[in-house]
Amino acid sequence: MTAADLAIVVDKLSRRFGKFNAVDNVSFDVRRGEVFGFLGSNGAGKSTTIRMLCGLLKPTSGRALVDGIDVGADPEGVKRRIGYMSQKFSLYELLTVDQNITFYAGLYGLTGERLARRRQFVLEMGGLKGRERALARTLSGGWRQRLALGCALLHEPPILFLDEPTGGVDPVSRREFWRLIDDLSAGGTTVLVTTHYLDEAERCDRVAVIHAGKLATIGTVAELKSVFDNRLLLELRARDPVAVMSALDQMPGVEKTSLFGTAVHAVFGSRTLKAEEVRATLEQRGLQVASIEPVAPSLEDVFLDIVDRESTKGAA
Amino acid sequence: MRRAWAVAIKELRQIRRDRRSLLILVFIPALFLFLYGYALNFDIRHVSLAVQDRDSTAESRAVTAAFVHSTYFDVTTEIATDADVVTLMDADRVRTVLVIPEGFAQKIRSGDTAVLQVIINGDNANSATTIVGYVDALLRDLSARMTAGNVRAIQAPIIGAAPRIWYNPELRSTLFLVPGLVAYISMITAVVSTAMSIVREKELGTMEQIRMSPMSNLSFVVGKTLPYLVLSQISALIVILAAMWLFGLPMRGNWGTLSLVTALFLVGALGTGLLVSTIADTQQVAFQAAMLIAFLPTFMLSGFLFPIASMPVVLQYITTIVPAKYFLVALRGVVLKGLELHEVWRPIGALVIYAVVVLGLSALRLARR
């Protein structure tokens, strides 16, 4: 792969606030046209990384190239090449749909024929035709989200940053939104998206997980799930899931238990154990088990596993 | 600058839709002037007066009449005994008592100095001083008339001053106060409106969105403050016109000079609002900070109400950084004295320095990353 195929190159990037290492020696690449997911708990360093990549925050050390431009040296150059949309759907409530578009187009210096063409694009993409004169505050969540996305795309940026873009939006609109993201990616736009929703992360070409300022893992969703290849993941349903969890924690070979809704997920260090053996052990202790079966790991299992591993590493 | 223009247009469209902001910006200042203008008035009329005339002569009645005709005093009671004086003053039914002793007329006729007793309630030192002034002027005038009436009266002092008050011959306190009000009201509206409008963008997240765009901080600041500069300039002129119409504020100078001085003061005030917005993250904090920074110094340390010369030395130094102080000097100079542009260059220079410093500080804070 040549450098021209890479939309974003992050090389040993760090940012300190006083004594606090918000981002600590992080390196990764994002390929052109890729949908790249950026996961992490709150305060893990996602936003700080994005703000550095957008040229808003100066790196303390390390380097990042966005569309070939060094973010530390030429933040203004970076800003011309990126689109940004945050969970706040930053629109002016007292302006109409059309006035919001005009304003954001003005920020990027769009005029004349190009402005007319891009305006048309945003209205069509957002399904906002016929609502040009509606005040932004009268739009529902889904429409606001699509208008905000449209405003971020007015200047046709090759790279798009989405910071938790689906917060507070209904499931149908979320689906619709991700369809738009796929279209953009197919059209060659690189998309870097942070999200809390792990089902959304499954739709990304590749995912990076950041924990306590450090890059914990990176790869395709399948690659990330491969950490479970030599382990056994059991899903149990029981009347008293909490009691089952504490019983499992006592059992040899159990690495981790966690609650998934009303079910319990238990991770075993090897695949030698059988589900029925576990059920027998639990029932010996007088615990009722309604069902127990091996399941394929979800991204949530992977995420919890990583956080767990990184936390013990940090404590050691 | 085309980007600054985009921001300015957006801002105007927002203000137009936001009736409340528009009202606060343009009409509330005029209302403020109206309320403060009538409430803040150091002139005293219709002081309640009790008279104890122990002489009961034509001369003594002439004295009482002079008090009544002055319109400064209203005679509410005639007093018979000394005990009544204490009762009335204690109950605050009268604020001044005039006692004309027996033999008052006799003394005047024989050419001696006749002495009157005037008792004034001193619980409000300001009004007491004012009343003493009225009484002095009244009696001087009365003595002159009696002397002219060919009655040998009170001996004239050998050295007498003939004071002449310039710019405000009637010593109306409104002429002194109204320019201060103009400064005070303009400062508050300008600082609060800019600070709030920028912090609102922070809360909405649009500020971050704008910072992600390739627009320079300078364009943002220009685009953001230009509409408020125009609106607050209009609002300040409305206040000045209202002051002329309601309180008889004269306009002895040049409108061009006045507009320039006002605009410079407002640029500084808008810059102050901008600086506040770089520190505050919520509208509530911004409002409190803006009020503190705009209101207190303008009210206390600008020479609006309290003469700077009579402040402790430390405070006098602090007033150096209060922009309203210079605006007041220039405004009073242009409006009351009719000074020309080259005669108010010092306060103008100070206003320019203030504006450059606040705008520079805000730009530095905005550029941090």
**Number of CB atoms found within 10 A of residue A42's CB:** 7
- Report pLDDT for A162: 94
A164 & A289 share domain: no
* Same structural domain, A67 and A198: yes
* Together in a domain, A7 and A138: yes
Residues A215 and A239 in one domain: no
Residue contact B2–A103, C-beta within 8 A: no
DSSP track, A194-221: E-S-HHHHTTSSEEEEEETTEEEEEE-H
Name the token pair of B110: 């024989």
B 158-217 residues with CB < 8 A to A: 204-206, 208-216
End-to-end CA distance of chain A: 38
Alpha-carbon distance values, B29 to B33, B186, B194, B297 (Å): 6, 7, 15, 18
* Same domain as A184, residue A57: yes
In this structure, are A51 and A177 located in the same domain? yes
Each residue's pLDDT, cut to its tens digit, for chain A (316 residues) gives 566 789 999 999 999 999 999 999 999 999 999 999 999 888 888 989 999 999 989 999 999 999 999 999 999 999 999 999 988 888 999 999 999 999 999 999 999 999 999 999 999 998 999 999 999 999 988 899 999 999 999 999 999 999 988 877 888 989 999 999 999 999 999 999 998 888 888 899 999 999 889 999 999 999 999 888 888 899 999 888 888 998 888 888 888 899 888 899 999 888 888 888 888 888 888 888 889 999 988 888 888 888 888 877 765 5
At A260, which CATH number? 3.30.70.100
Give the relative orientation of helices B323-332 and B173-204 as an angle to the nearest 10 degrees: 140
What's the number of CA atoms in the CB half-sphere (13 Å) around residue B349? Answer: 5
Which chain B residue lies closest to A106 (C-alpha atoms)?
B6
**Interface check B17 vs A, CB under 8 A:** yes
Look at residue B152 in the predicted model and tell me its pLDDT.
Answer: 47
Listed range (A277-291, B11-25, B165-179) with the worst mean pLDDT: B165-179
Q: Check whether residue A159 and residue A236 sit in a common domain.
A: no
A146 and A234 housed in the same domain: no
Same domain, A260 and A279: yes
- Answer positive or negative: Cα dihedral of B138, B307, B234, B39: negative
Q: B14 to chain A: which residues are within 8 Å by CB?
A: 92, 94-95
A9 φ, ψ (degrees, to nearest 5):
-125, 120
Partner-chain residue, chosen from A79, A99, A107, that has the shortest CB–CB distance to B13: A99
Q: Kindly list the residues from chain A whose CB atom is less than 8 angstroms away from the CB atom of residue B211.
A: 56
Domain count, chain A: 2
Q: Which residue of B has its CA nearest to A58?
A: B369
Question: For chain B, what are the domain ranges?
Answer: 2-40+172-367, 47-148
What is B47-148's CATH number? 3.40.1710.10
- Res. B168: pLDDT tops 80: no
Is A88 within 8 Å of B204 when comparing Cβ atoms?
yes
Residue A242 structural domain: 227-315
Q: What pLDDT sits at residue B106?
A: 85
| Residue of chain B nearest A161, judged by CA positions | B212
Strand order of the sheet with strand A254-260? A254-260, A263-268, A232-238, A289-294
Predicted interface score ipTM higher than 0.85: no
CB contact under 8 A, B206 and A102: no
Same domain for A145 and A287, yes or no, is no
Residue B354 has pLDDT above 70, yes or no: yes
pLDDT tens digits, one per residue of B198-242: 999 999 889 989 989 988 888 888 898 899 999 889 988 988 888
Structure tokens at A146: 């699509």
Domain boundary among A170, A199, A219: A219
Question: Full-prediction pTM beyond 0.80?
Answer: no
Best of A78, A103, A135 to disrupt the B interface (most B CBs within 10 Å) is A103
Distance CA B284, CA A177 (A): 35
Final residue of a structural domain among A219, A249, A282: A219
| CB contact (8 A) between residue B3 and residue A109 | yes
| Cβ-based contacts under 8 A for chains A and B | 74
The letter for the amino acid at B47 is: V
Boundary of a domain, candidates A165, A197, A219: A219
Examine the domain organization and report whether A173 and A241 are in the same domain.
Answer: no
Min Cα distance B228 → chain A (Å) is: 17
Same domain (yes/no): A198, A262: no
